[in-house]
Amino acid sequence: MRIAACVTALDGTEKFLIGLADGKKVESVLIRHKRTVCACLSSQVGCAMKCAFCATGLMGFQRNLSVEEIVGQFDLMESVGVKITNVVFMGMGEPLHNYDSVVGAVNLLRKKGLSWQKITVSTVGLPDGIRALGRDVQCRIAWSLHAPNDVLRSKLVPVNSRFPIQDVVMALLDFPARRKNEVMIEYVLLDGVNDSLEHAKELAVLLKQLPFVVVNLIPYNSVAGIEFRRPSQEKCVAFKQALIDAGFKTIVRTTKGLDADAACGMLSTRSLVQVAARD
């Protein structure tokens, strides 16, 4: 494995194109905060989930990564001289669709000294995988929800037709008590699609079933070839306030990495391949 290319955003976020032994490539991201450095790791080359707004979904599924290839992204990024404090599995791929390798990687990262509170596995919502994860390994979990009802969610996240919202809620309620306290809800805000106050209120009703969630709102970063657009700042603020008024801790992900096209779940190797070809 090697770093084939790296671009740095204005805010210091670094996006890496990682070359694998068979010539395939994945992306990994380093996000720097005041006291922490978070690594966003890929678990697959491409993704089979085909979420309608996602650049990785456009690539289709190519193959799973091994434990070594997942942790290798961590090692390569540390080799540029940073100490990674947190890991999120929010890069390319659906982590629970590559279950054994992801569990192996979490265990290996814990052996490297990361506590379970510093490792988050983000899933689109595969109920059996969520239950298995809660049984097999200690880590935090995030659910990429993106819509407050099944009709809309099935359009945005096709796997919802197989595993509807309520099935995922039941699986999350089965997640071990200490860790389900930390469920992160990821919600990409798409202009005119899922960002109205009615959607926010519907989301609040849905989330009342889950104790201690934190909602992470992600204003969409436009992707070439995909029709969705980013909502206005005012709409994002109003959506956030509606959730806060309903009693939920809610954050809007800042534009970290925006100019490097480094939003989680939005990765495609296309732009970085161009950088690698240039260098």
- Residues lying near ligand SF4 in the complex (CB under 6 A): 47, 49-51, 54, 56-57, 92-94, 124, 265
Residue 217 to residues 8, 50, 170, 184, 255, Cα–Cα distance (Å): 23, 20, 22, 10, 11
Residue nearer to ligand SF4 on the CB measure, 184 or 242: 184
The Cβ of residue 45 has, within 10 Å, a number of other Cβ atoms equal to 22
Residue nearer to ligand SF4 on the CB measure, 130 or 242: 130
Q: Is 139 a catalytic residue?
A: no
Q: In 3-state terms, what secondary structure has residue 8? A: strand
Buried b (16+ CB within 10 A) or exposed e, 227-241: ebebbeeebbeebbe
Dihedral sign for Cα atoms in the order 189, 190, 191, 195: negative
Catalytic residue among 6, 40, 47, 264: 264
Q: In 3-state terms, what secondary structure has residue 73? A: helix
Q: Is 227 a catalytic residue?
A: no
Residue nearer to ligand SF4 on the CB measure, 85 or 154: 154
Work out how close the CB of 219 gets to ligand SF4 at its nearest, in angstroms, rounded to a whole number. 15
Work out how close the CB of 113 gets to ligand SF4 at its nearest, in angstroms, rounded to a whole number. 28
Work out how close the CB of 129 gets to ligand SF4 at its nearest, in angstroms, rounded to a whole number. 12
Residue nearer to ligand SF4 on the CB measure, 47 or 133: 47
Work out how close the CB of 55 gets to ligand SF4 at its nearest, in angstroms, rounded to a whole number. 7
Listing DSSP states for 180-193 in one string gives: HTTPEEEEEE-TTT
Catalytic residue among 14, 27, 69, 186: 27
Catalytic residues, by residue number, are: 27, 264
